Chains A and B, each alone.
Chain A
């Protein structure tokens, strides 16, 4: 019997459809269907000025907006031959790591809710709110920040931010202990998660699965370490890995990543305290942020004699390894923008880690994937 889990289903955490073939409670086959949330972000980007694409990046993944802004900005800077100031790079690292914590807390909340734990769901959301409050204090927005710019960031931190951020980090470090006690300390939790959704390292590589799912299989792969960008070369952190490749291992990896993010953020905040400076590069082309040109008004699309270039960036997004490719043909719009979404690959491999388990295992397994459909469909 085929059943459609989605597009509207509590398990999906977004808008996609998991078709499952079941025999009693046993899953014998499955087929993920994506595309319900396709907004054509890559195509729209070709019609926008470079800085206007950042608005779309926030909407690409609504729980990790900063990561996608960062990804695009890095590729665009390479394509446009622009070097951001050092302080901007640290600020971006700050954004990305706080975003990682925020995104993982969101994942934690959704994941425990999937296996029926009600209270930790609200604990996760409560603590994520503290991170969002921090974002609000320096970008003005809680989810769609529009903060990064090609060539730097929009504005510097408000006074007193670093002290407040450190308090939040202290609070969060204590909460991580509590989370572990609530989940790993519970026998039912272990019974629901141990040995489920196993995806071996070889399968991960074969299917292009990245991020915490790959690291939970014991593969020490992290773009921040292997292909460092922004301020990561100067920072000290460990790559979180676990053995087992199951749901529990993914839980452990994400928890450890949040701890590592706290560690990274403490270093970043210390650096920011002692190194004031500009946050936006000098003498940027003015047309980077010119008004949006409606489709069809071709006269706006001026051919600038700007040096052509191609930009590629790859970052460790909370969900996995995201990549961007931006082609600059010398006009004020990017000629082509292409993204690689990690969740798309992670979801496409569903058949490898879902078949053979039971219907009741679908929520914990899919919850451990950490789905963000916005970036799957773009």
Chain B
């Protein structure tokens, strides 16, 4: 199968559209409309629109998935009334937030108050665009896409802190402080866990990392790294048990206390987008991305868009694990969280890195088979 990329599709679509329009236009116009620059600009815009729609739909379905799962864990049904099994409930909620008045406290700093959530949202969306979802769905082959994704991922504390500080609210400020401390503390083990994957796969390119997992997925040999990565991801996503920056019980809503209406929706969507991206990363790095093991019958893996389908199935299962954790664990305290982060997670992640290096040196393992040789 040819490597049909999403950008290629949008380029072809725009090209086809413009040439057919150009064919019915008189001389100076048809040349102008079919010229390369316009096609390029328009195809980039179409590409971005597809990404936007996909990310929003996925996010909203993810919220639905969380609500239904949480409902079942709690002996209830979750959203049931809008749409089939409540599928449209979150669209209704989003519309409601969209219609609401955007309120800014009088003492808040205008620039930071509005730019914080916007930047948070935008960076989360860029993340969605950077990650490959299947062989076709990727925004071009970036040799350092993993590094780029993690770099964008770690922007968040800055924007959270900016919006918290500019809210001019004590709860927000405390939440912002906690958020920044927590994200910075858990960034380190997260990155070290990624280093383990990079050592084994020999590449920073997510597409390569996935193709390296063609024979077996990394979660087995790199189980320690997976544990560290998932725990770090939980902290980065600020979900229970690590949701103390927005600890409802003491800080009202933490750094987004003062936000309402669409700005709150920005935070909400961006949070779930980051949840989605976090689950994507777990699937890409440890669960074989869009590949399936060879023992799976071909009928299940050879239909059109099978890659995207299996990728999303894995993603939603991983997110289901996050929801399960949320449903069953209480929240830890800031000092406990930081102590665990610096004293436990970092040594663990270092151990994971050494383990990965040892695995690469040994090459063949009785249980997991032979590792691929690191890329050149």
Chain A interfacial positions (CB closer than 8 Å to B): 1, 3, 5, 9-11, 25, 112-119, 121-123, 126, 182, 186, 188-189, 191-192, 358-363, 367
Contact = CB atoms under 8 A, between A and B. Distances in A.
Interface of B: 70, 73-76, 170-171, 174, 240-241, 243-244, 247-252, 326-336
Question: Which of B73, B243, B250, B326 gathers the greatest number of chain A CB atoms within 10 Å?
Answer: B250
Consensus secondary structure, chain B interface = helix
A191 B336 CA distance: 9
B185 to A, nearest CB: 15
Contacts of B333: 191-192, 358, 360-361
Given A1-B170, A3-B170, A122-B76, A188 B329 contact: yes
A188 B330 contact: yes
B244 A112 contact: no
B171 A3 contact: yes
A118 B326 contact: yes
B95 to A, nearest CB: 26
B240 A119 contact: no
Contacts of A25: 174, 334-335
Consensus secondary structure, chain A interface = helix
A10 B241 CA distance: 18
A11 B171 CA distance: 13
Nearest to A20: B250
A74 to B, nearest CB: 37
A23 to B, nearest CB: 12
A188 B241 contact: yes
Contacts of B326: 118
Given A10-B252, A119-B327, 14 more contacts: A1-B170, A115-B330, A116-B240, A118-B74, A118-B326, A119-B74, A119-B328, A191-B333, A358-B333, A358-B335, A360-B244, A360-B333, A360-B334, A363-B250
A186 B330 contact: yes
Contacts of A112: 330
A11 B170 CA distance: 16
Nearest to B253: A10
Contacts of B327: 118-119
Contacts of B335: 25, 358
B249 A116 contact: yes
Question: Which of B74, B171, B326 gathers the greatest number of chain A CB atoms within 10 Å?
Answer: B74
Contacts of B331: 115-116, 188, 192
Nearest to B249: A363
Nearest to A8: B252
A188 B244 CA distance: 13
Contacts of A119: 73-75, 327-328
Nearest to B170: A3
Contacts of A10: 248-250, 252
Contacts of B244: 360
A123 B74 contact: yes
A123 B248 CA distance: 19
Contacts of A358: 333-335
A27 to B, nearest CB: 11
A114 B249 contact: yes
B75 A122 contact: yes
B247 A360 contact: yes
A191 B251 CA distance: 20
Contacts of B249: 10-11, 113-116, 362-363, 367
